[in-house]
Amino acid sequence: MGKQETNVVDVRTPRVSIAIPQGEKGDNGQAGAAKEKPLKMRTQGVNVFYGDNQALSEIDLDIRENEVTALIGPSGCGKSTYLRCLNRMNDTIEGCQVEGTVTLDGENIYDRTVDVVHLRARIGMVFQKPNPFPKSIYDNVAYGPRIHGLVSSQDALNEIVMTSLTKAGLLDEVRNRLHEPGTGLSGGQQQRLCIARAIAVNPEVILMDEPCSALDPIATARIEELIDELRKNYTIIIVTHNMQQAARVSQRTAFFHLGVLVEFGDTERVFTSPRDERTQGYITGRFG
Amino acid sequence: MTVSHMSTSKLTAASLHRRHAVEKRFRAYGVVAIVTALVFLIILLSSMLSKGYSAFFQAQIRLPVFFSQDVIDPKRTNSSEIIARANYQILVRNALKARFPDVKKRREVKKLTMLISRGARRHLRAMVAHEPSLIGTTQEVWLLASGDADMFLKGAIPRDIPEKSRRINDRQIAWLNALEEDGAARMRFNVNFFTVGDSREAEQAGIWGAIVGSALTLIVTLILSFPVSVTAAVYLEELSTKNWWTDFLEVNINNMAAVPSIIYGLFGLAIFLNVMHLPRSAPVVGGIVLALMTFPTIIIATRASLKAVPPSIREAARGLGASPAQVVLHHVLPLAMPGIFTGTIIGMSRALGESAPLLMIGMVAFIVDIPQGLFDPASVLPVQIYLWADSPERAFVEKTAAATLVLMVFLVVMNATAVILRRKFEKRW
């Protein structure tokens, strides 16, 4: 049942109206006839424990290549924990146990033989609060390629830095001050610097943990534009509190609640005709 | 609603007076504490200054010295060896007798000679060695006064106590007064104090040997304690997993900080001297002992600074794929440097002022020569102060106070450096 106009979800106490723009959502807008992109990452039966507390139960999720997958849900539902499972950042947390399989291109990343350092070069991460290193802007972006040995000459490094800053939409603003400290930029610029830093390593997947929650609306809009651009070359998984953002930016949405994956599907379908009543309740603002 | 609003306001107003009084008292307590500390500091400094400033000046006496050929080189060989081995004390005695011709009896001549330092003969020897053409001439030479004469000329010997209780008798006082009236006695800045080592003669004693010994010992301490402590702290804080073993280590490190320093000295004596047969009283042994004492200070300061680095930096680095060592070396350690420097300099300042453990490893010996290397016997400033404080001669009292002042200057300089370095590194972050 493909609908042609913008849709408003109609329930008893509507507080929010979600407008889903048609157009670019091309393939996934039509039910059933979409050409599905290949599978990039898959999680099966993931359980996460913090000590005795179970934070996530039996999460099965497929992430497709060159798509933006949004993870939404109320505070404390486990979305950030899930995100951190995908690049093994939970390894650094004391008392955190991860069970189940998480595969990248078919290989289990929790296998003993996997080198975590190499994994994190393939899966980059952008954090909620911008955290540039207290080094120059140039060194911030150059750090990743340097430590992974991606370049052999200064020229190649310059090129990577310029390209990354361009892709992150930051180059024009900082072209003349590449050697000033990265911490001297505004919040939105710092977050774009962090994104540039992450893509300088040329990852395959980029994880974003609420990247815009510390930013003003204009900076947020720029970053959403950026995500849409980046989607062409990278697979992006974004955790967000902002449902409108999820609707604008993503092709697939997963709704988490109390550590359980309640619903997962095409963004348009999840927001217009959610199958689970918890999803409906969250989307319409009844809770969360 | 307005009624409850007003009664709150009234109640608050009533207690306001009492609260302001408490505020004023609280401030006053703080001011009293600071003033008390300052008063003690001023008392300490002024007592040291008043006792010690005179040590920076030395009395000299001008005498007509006849460089007699018969005394220096009777056979007229012109050999430098013969000239060096001559008895210059005779020249000094003759010069004094020439100045005071009415002094004839042997005992009186002896008292007269005691007005000039024994080091004067070395001075004359150096003069002749430098310029052999002096032989046969008479020169007015400023010679170093002896310790007792020096004390008298500085006014440190009271003249109203009976002669037998004094080190200077009445005749010597008369001679010194005569010299003063003639303008043949003067005070000069005591450069010697900073250029020579210890001596039995108070007027010739200097602290240069102790300064060199302290410097060498501290260098060894720094080289040993800094890398080991920082590495240990980084390992415990960043790289190890938390289990009962690391807890055990932490408790023991904290205990090390509480152990009395003399125990480290005894340990040094037992192991480094008796078992390993390292040279006694050498800066290398002193440095190792002090390094053991400084480990806990630097480890604890480093751990605190590492903890203070925000976790967001570590996460960002890890998220990019940095290995644990790269996270620490490239990001955490540079940011923790201010705190590490402060801890190191505090540890070094404490090591500079320690004497008990060094006494145990033999630095209580009387060392005259300036140590040339790490394995030569040496003394350190606090031990030198202790040795001079032990000496009953009046002339050593001012030297003790002066050496204390020099030590305090070093400590102030080190701590000021710590503050400056800290400020400089903090700006970057």
Query: Model confidence over B1-49: pLDDT tens digits?
Result: 555 666 788 888 878 888 999 999 999 999 999 999 999 999 999 998 9
Q: Are B147 and B201 in contact (CB under 8 A)?
A: yes
Helix or strand run (H / E) with residue A126: strand A123-126
Q: Are B206 and B194 in contact (CB under 8 A)?
A: yes
Closest residue in A to B311 (Cα–Cα) = A131
Contact across the interface for B429 and A143, Cβ inside 8 Å:
no
Closest residue in A to B429 (Cα–Cα) = A134
**How close does chain A come to B234, measured CA to CA in Å?**
16
Contact across the interface for A129 and B312, Cβ inside 8 Å:
yes
Chain B residues with beta carbon closer than 8 angstroms to that of A80: none
Secondary structure of A180-240 in the HEC alphabet? CEHHHCCHHHHHHHHHHHHHHCCCCEEEEECCCCCCCHHHHHHHHHHHHHHCCCCEEEEEC
Residues in chain A: 288
Enumerate residues 123 to 162 of chain B having a beta carbon within 8 A of any beta carbon in chain A: none
Sign, Cα dihedral of B373, B375, B379, B382: positive
The low-confidence residues of chain A, meaning pLDDT below 50, are 1-6, 9-15, 17, 22-33
Integer Cα distance of B420 and B413 in angstroms: 10
User: In sequence order, what are the residues at sequence separation of 6 or more whose Cβ sits closer than 8 angstroms to the Cβ of residue B86?
Assistant: B71, B72, B73, B125, B128
Helix or strand run (H / E) with residue B61: strand B57-66
Sign, Cα dihedral of B290, B294, B296, B302: negative
- Specify the pairing of strand A235-239 against strand A68-72: parallel
Closest residue in A to B319 (Cα–Cα) = A125
Q: Are B221 and B351 in contact (CB under 8 A)?
A: yes
Closest residue in B to A117 (Cα–Cα) = B321
Chain A residues with beta carbon closer than 8 angstroms to that of B429: 134
* Residue whose structure tokens are 């037998």: B164
**Torsions phi, psi for A152 (to 5 deg):** -115, -15
State the maximum Cα–Cα separation within chain A, in Å, rounded to a whole number: 63
* Residue whose structure tokens are 């102030």: B412
Closest CA to B214 of B367, B354, B381, B363: B381
Tell me the HSE value of B216 on the side-chain side, using a 13 A CA sphere: 23
Contact across the interface for B321 and A147, Cβ inside 8 Å:
yes
Closest CA to B194 of B351, B405, B48: B405
Sign, Cα dihedral of B274, B276, B278, B281: negative
**How close does chain B come to A209, measured CA to CA in Å?**
12
What is the Cα B67 distance to its own chain's centre? 40
* Residue whose structure tokens are 């007592």: B47
**How close does chain B come to A57, measured CA to CA in Å?**
25
**How close does chain B come to A45, measured CA to CA in Å?**
24
Closest CA to A69 of A47, A48, A86: A86
**Residue A287: per-residue pLDDT:** 77
User: In sequence order, what are the residues at sequence separation of 6 or more whose Cβ sits closer than 8 angstroms to the Cβ of residue A32?
Assistant: none
Q: Are B298 and B225 in contact (CB under 8 A)?
A: yes
Q: Are B201 and B366 in contact (CB under 8 A)?
A: no
Integer Cα distance of B366 and B378 in angstroms: 9
Chain A residues with beta carbon closer than 8 angstroms to that of B333: none
Integer Cα distance of B75 and B80 in angstroms: 13
Q: Are A48 and A85 in contact (CB under 8 A)?
A: yes
Integer Cα distance of B90 and B94 in angstroms: 6
Q: Copy the structure tokens of residue A102.
A: 């998480």
Per DSSP, A254 falls in state E
B312 touches chain A (CB under 8 A): yes
End-to-end CA distance of chain A: 29
Which among B246, B314, B320, B328 is the top mutation candidate for probing chain A, defined by the most A β-carbons within 10 Å of its own β-carbon? B320
Sign, Cα dihedral of A194, A200, A201, A202: positive
Q: What order do you get walking across the sheet with B57-66 strand by strand?
A: B138-144, B57-66, B185-189
A115 touches chain B (CB under 8 A): no
Q: Which residues of B245-267 are buried (b: 16+ CB within 10 A; e: fewer)?
A: eeeeeeeebeebeeeebeebbeb
Which among A83, A86, A89, A125 is the top mutation candidate for probing chain B, defined by the most B β-carbons within 10 Å of its own β-carbon? A125
For B50-94, write each residue's pLDDT tens digit.
888 888 888 999 988 888 888 888 888 878 888 888 888 888 888
A144 touches chain B (CB under 8 A): yes
The low-confidence residues of chain B, meaning pLDDT below 50, are none
**Residue B3: per-residue pLDDT:** 56
State which amino acid sits at residue A248: R
**Residue A21: per-residue pLDDT:** 52
Closest residue in B to A84 (Cα–Cα) = B319
Contact across the interface for B322 and A194, Cβ inside 8 Å:
no
User: In sequence order, what are the residues at sequence separation of 6 or more whose Cβ sits closer than 8 angstroms to the Cβ of residue B118?
Assistant: B89, B146, B201, B204
End-to-end CA distance of chain B: 50
Chain B residues with beta carbon closer than 8 angstroms to that of A201: 320-321
CA torsion, ordered A242, A248, A254, A256, to nearest 10 deg = 10
Per DSSP, B270 falls in state I
